Amino acid sequence: MRIERDTLGEVRVPDAMLYGAQTQRAVDNYPVSGLREHPVFIHAFVILKKAAALANHETGAMPRKLAEAIANACDRIIGNSDLSFRKLVTRAKKGHTARIGDDDLRSVPYLVPPGYIASDFRDHFVVDVFQAGAGTSFNMNCNEVIANLANKALGGKVGSYKPLHPNDHINMSQSTNDAFPTATRLATLLLLRELFPALDGLIFAFDAKGEELADVIKSGRTHLQDAVPVTLGQEFHAWAAAVRRATKLLEDATDELRELGIGGTATGTGLNAPPGYRHAVVRYLSEMTKLALSSSLDLRESMQSQLPLVAVSAALRNLALELTRIANDLRLLASGPHAGLAEIALPAAQPGSSIMPGKVNPSMLECLNQICFHIISADAAVAFASQAGQLELNVMMPLMAFEILFSIAILKNFLPILTERCIRGITADRKRCEAYYTGSPALATVLNPLIGYERAAEVAKESVKSGTPIPELLRKKKMLSEEEISRIFTPAFLTGQADRE
């Protein structure tokens, strides 16, 4: 152990750790969940510290030697020096800016190491996700780790904070109050880069299955009762459309995250930040992340209000609502094999029972349901945290950051597996689907324009009572000609795919 000092006194810190006194106090004060910040959040915070060092150097507030040492330490932590201090400074002097398109979340490459930070440094970021308000504990965790790592490179001693100090240098021109929400927005954008391809893959799989099963006609169901026929293909295409729409709404919500409040410092007034700093930080962040970022029009608003995060959380909730609805539909259609609908069969993922041999459950969809339920409940936590902001600051940001990033992470981790191991392998029981629809009294609906609603209702009731298919009843009663029966009782006509003129 080593002895460090902060403004409250002495603190014992494990000698092998790069963090310092304030981080150790947080470890001692908040042993809440055992959960640590998501690696993408650590990554976002570290590149923000690098951008701040570059901006402070550019504005003349920090000597080149110290700024470069900070930037190099940050590169070591994230395990990527593709854009080194010298390269970024050279580009800035030549007037280069990031060339970013409108679709940068999908098409612009951003090279990061697996896991977002180098494995050697993961254990040095130890603050629990449930911590002091505003995220000061985690901000200082980052400041102390970067300071000690940079000082070691400059020949200094861990814990001495010379020549670089966590507050005076790593946190220069910043406050937790503008750094934490900025890092949260960056991390959310970066993690969404991984979610959108997973959603695209699910949409493609639904559409592909729709094409494959386009000719499988079946009974539609409304109110869980027989309804006019549809095809399995139409159902799968509709699910693809629903996920596509929810994805578009999520994409639209992310645009609000691109405005950053960094440079506002403690209350949004910019106190202690040099002129030009706020725009320089954002420029460097855009350069490093390939994200189209801008400085907020009102830095005070960006500190007080977390509405952009709420919008993303709500869009994630809406996506989860659609996904869980679709999962429930698939589970219902696959129910059986003898006492349910059993119109489709899901790929077997694992044995379904510890006591019933041969039982196979829709386990992949059940997992998706649980993920969606968590996302829906996480949005409620984000909503409560959002309204809890008071005056110049929302101190509930740590909860918001954790819930949003965790929701994105569990969804992006599982969707590719669901797509590959469940959706792509779905098969149809064509005979069962045909038997359901041909024997359904709902076929009488097509008779309304020909014989009227009341007579069609009588035919439907007799079909249910006698078990006789409706086309046979029509022939028996000679209510329609064979030509009319042949014309209207075809899959194409009944499912809206034929010309009805």
Q: To the nearest 5 percent, what fractions of the chain are helix, strand and coil?
A: 60, 5, 30
Measure the CA–CA gap between 408 and 414, rounded to whole angstroms.
10
Q: Judge contact between 111 and 82, C-beta under 8 A.
A: yes
Strands 294-295 and 344-345: unpaired
Q: Are strands 259-260 and 294-295 parallel, antiparallel or unpaired?
A: parallel
Q: Measure CA 234 to chain center.
A: 27
Place of tokens 């004060």: 29
Q: Are 472 and 255 in contact (CB under 8 A)?
A: no
From 408, 481, 428, 345, select the one nearest 191 (Cα to Cα). 408
Of 33, 81, 294, 353, catalytic: 353
Given a contact cutoff of 8 angstroms between Cβ atoms, the answer to whether 299 and 388 are in contact is: no
Q: Residue 428: beta bridge partners?
A: 344
| Residue the block writes with tokens 């829906």 | 376
> What does the alpha-carbon distance between residue 181 and residue 306 come to, in Å, rounded to a whole number?
8
What contacts 24+ positions apart, CB below 8 Å, involve 66-69? 66/150, 66/163, 66/164, 66/169, 69/150, 69/151, 69/153, 69/154, 69/164
Q: By the 8 A CB rule, do 290 and 98 touch?
A: yes
Q: Would residue 353 show up in a list of annotated catalytic residues for this protein?
A: yes
Rounded CA-CA distance 135/125 in Å is 13
Q: How many CB atoms lie within 10 A of CB 38?
A: 20
Q: Look at the alpha carbons of 44, 390, 302, 311 in this order and tell me if their dihedral is positive or negative.
A: positive
Contact assessment for residue 261 and residue 303, using Cβ atoms and an 8 Å cutoff = yes
Distant-in-sequence, close-in-space partners of 425: CB < 8 Å, separation ≥ 6: 346, 347
Q: Furthest-apart CA pair in the chain: how many Å?
A: 100
CA distance 484 to 496: 17
Q: Measure CA 411 to chain center.
A: 6
The residue type of 235 is E
Catalytic residue set: 353
